[in-house]
Chains A and B, each alone.
Chain A
């Protein structure tokens, strides 16, 4: 293992760029979680000067972890400890948490799942969106103690082995992010939105809530309304809508940009 290059699939030049740009743990994400083809497209598209910011985005999209044994609690100790047994990304977890600890902090600080982001910590931005028992919720307003016996899915739990979740792939294809900070929340939210639409759930802009057929066909206005709980400071909204439209419609939506070689 020792003398294996960090990026076995890449050319020397590509590897050099990456190694210079990326912190150590990110290289693992790239080699294991990202196809070389995608990398090349991104290089072509962004040019090296934009590469750094793009990789932050990619890291959010692909974030994966081995989430093994929980990290120890902080040295300040635990008040009113609560034992929580729950499932995170398919793996059983047992934690002793301070009753004040939010699910977001438990994921990030105790389970080292840092994909879910803390934007506002007050329910106002959606960066912390995760799925609990399949429904989207805000991890920053969920106390970890309330998660007993629940199943939590974070951005790290969406891909199957080497295969991205279709929503992750669509976000890459449509460039549904710039800095990437809101992206894990956007993607989790969009994944839940797909099942809500399948179940026939309504939104405020549904033309007539009395008509209860399923599944719901989502117009752009419907997607915008249903995704309004996820704020993007970079304003990647049109591309996010494109990505969701593609997954929802199950057919290709024209990309706003193309790689130099014409592939997507």
Chain B
């Protein structure tokens, strides 16, 4: 690991000012991603500003929903009564990720900023436009089994690895950030992460020095019917090949509202808006779930080694919707 200066921030404004003033500086949350990448020399900040002591670690009710702190840990958030009762989809998604130890360390802000697990990105000896702009994308014509089937560019075919963020996408969360000189703004979750286009080195639309203060979850009617399904190579402690966050609200047996977001398929959480549109007003039946999944996956563009993800995602959407229908009980999605 390369040398860096470590400091501890007492106030958000100090942390933001320090990171804004130094292009080499980074915020340090739980460190579960950043420290790992620094050991691999994939990232080499010249300064780390520890933000875990900032008072941004609450989960609280607001007039329009619930807000979760940027530095609250993933464990604390997933287990908070307000989240478990009102946003069980978020609890399930967080608990599907990593391990108990890592969730105890990981912060919500850090989770949203975690970087891809593309093996080319992780190996400094291999070409990667995300790590080294202009060096080429090793995965495009290389081993791309774990890569994208939606929204990729010739410059980068990586997928974004977070489970938590897939639920946040389905829940239409809003990210509250603060930049230098107290400039605050909100970013709708759909606009937080980005597709790679010509600049895959940028994972999301945060500006340099901007700190995630909190993430707001609007109230919804999904608590009774939501489900997070994660498909992976072993049954726990592995990243998703494909994951689905599904939530719906019914009127009688008709679908009044539905949200579907996919993980493991794109450079950002992928909202299955084609399937969502198709389902509105239809009966909540397995046949309709399957049909909706099929229309969504028609638009998939798999790479050489990940064609299996198309069928997998299609089945997973139907199963996750079924799980939501069953009331969100783990293992009942069939």
Complex Cα spacing A61 to B75, Å: 28
- Asked if A22 CB lies within 8 Å of chain B CBs, one says no
Q: A189-B101, A209-B88, A210-B328 are in contact. Are A100 and B31 (CB under 8 A)?
A: no
Q: A99-B6, A100-B1, A138-B32 are in contact. Are A229 and B101 (CB under 8 A)?
A: yes
Which residues on the A side are within 8 Å of B104 (C-beta)? 135-137
Contact status B100-A136, CB under 8 Å: yes
Which residues on the B side are within 8 Å of A145 (C-beta)? 6, 50
Q: A123-B36, A193-B100, A196-B100 are in contact. Are A207 and B85 (CB under 8 A)?
A: no
Which residues on the B side are within 8 Å of A263 (C-beta)? none
Q: A122-B39, A226-B100, A229-B98 are in contact. Are A80 and B91 (CB under 8 A)?
A: no
Complex Cα spacing A141 to B31, Å: 6
Contact status A207-B3, CB under 8 Å: no
- Asked if A228 CB lies within 8 Å of chain B CBs, one says yes
Nearest CB to that of B3 among chain A residues?
A79
- Asked if B334 CB lies within 8 Å of chain A CBs, one says no
Our pick among B2, B79, B101 for the contact of A138 (Cβ within 8 Å) is B101
Nearest CB to that of B2 among chain A residues?
A100
Contact status B84-A202, CB under 8 Å: yes
Complex Cα spacing A115 to B160, Å: 36
Complex Cα spacing A208 to B6, Å: 42
Complex Cα spacing A13 to B315, Å: 65
Q: A142-B105, A143-B6, A189-B101 are in contact. Are A205 and B52 (CB under 8 A)?
A: no
Q: Classify chain A's interface size.
A: 35 or more
Contact status A122-B237, CB under 8 Å: no
- Asked if A102 CB lies within 8 Å of chain B CBs, one says yes
CB distance from A244 to the nearest CB of B (A): 13
Which residues on the A side are within 8 Å of B91 (C-beta)? 202, 209
Q: A99-B6, A204-B236, A228-B236 are in contact. Are A142 and B31 (CB under 8 A)?
A: yes
Contact status A100-B105, CB under 8 Å: no
- Asked if A46 CB lies within 8 Å of chain B CBs, one says no
- Asked if B252 CB lies within 8 Å of chain A CBs, one says no
CB distance from A123 to the nearest CB of B (A): 6
Q: Classify chain B's interface size.
A: 35 or more
Indicate with 1 or 0, residue by residue over B95-108, a CB within 8 angstroms of chain A CB atoms.
Answer: 11011111011000
Interface residues of B in 232-272 (CB under 8 A from A): 235-237
Contact status B330-A206, CB under 8 Å: yes
- Asked if B81 CB lies within 8 Å of chain A CBs, one says yes
Q: A141-B36, A148-B8 are in contact. Are A99 and B81 (CB under 8 A)?
A: no
Interface residues of A in 108-154 (CB under 8 A from B): 121-123, 126, 129, 135-138, 141-143, 145-146, 148
Nearest CB to that of B97 among chain A residues?
A204
Indicate with 1 or 0, residue by residue over A229-241, a CB within 8 angstroms of chain B CB atoms.
Answer: 1110000000000
Closest 9 A-B residue pairs measured CB to CB?
A229-B99, A228-B236, A99-B6, A79-B3, A204-B95, A228-B237, A209-B91, A100-B1, A145-B6
Chain B residues proximal to chain A, CB less than 8 Å: 1-6, 8, 28, 30-32, 35-36, 39, 48, 50, 52, 75, 78-79, 81, 84-85, 88, 91-92, 95-96, 98-102, 104-105, 223, 230, 235-237, 327-331
Chain A residues proximal to chain B, CB less than 8 Å: 79-80, 82, 98-100, 102, 121-123, 126, 129, 135-138, 141-143, 145-146, 148, 189, 192-193, 196, 199-210, 212, 224-226, 228-231
Q: Apart from A100-B3, A204-B236, what are 8 other A-B pairs with CB-CB below 8 Å?
A: A100-B2, A121-B39, A137-B101, A138-B32, A142-B105, A204-B230, A206-B330, A208-B328
Listed by A's residue number, 18 A-B pairs whose Cβ atoms lie within 8 Å are: A80-B4, A82-B6, A123-B32, A126-B101, A141-B32, A141-B105, A143-B31, A143-B35, A146-B28, A148-B8, A202-B78, A202-B84, A203-B95, A209-B91, A212-B84, A212-B85, A225-B235, A229-B100
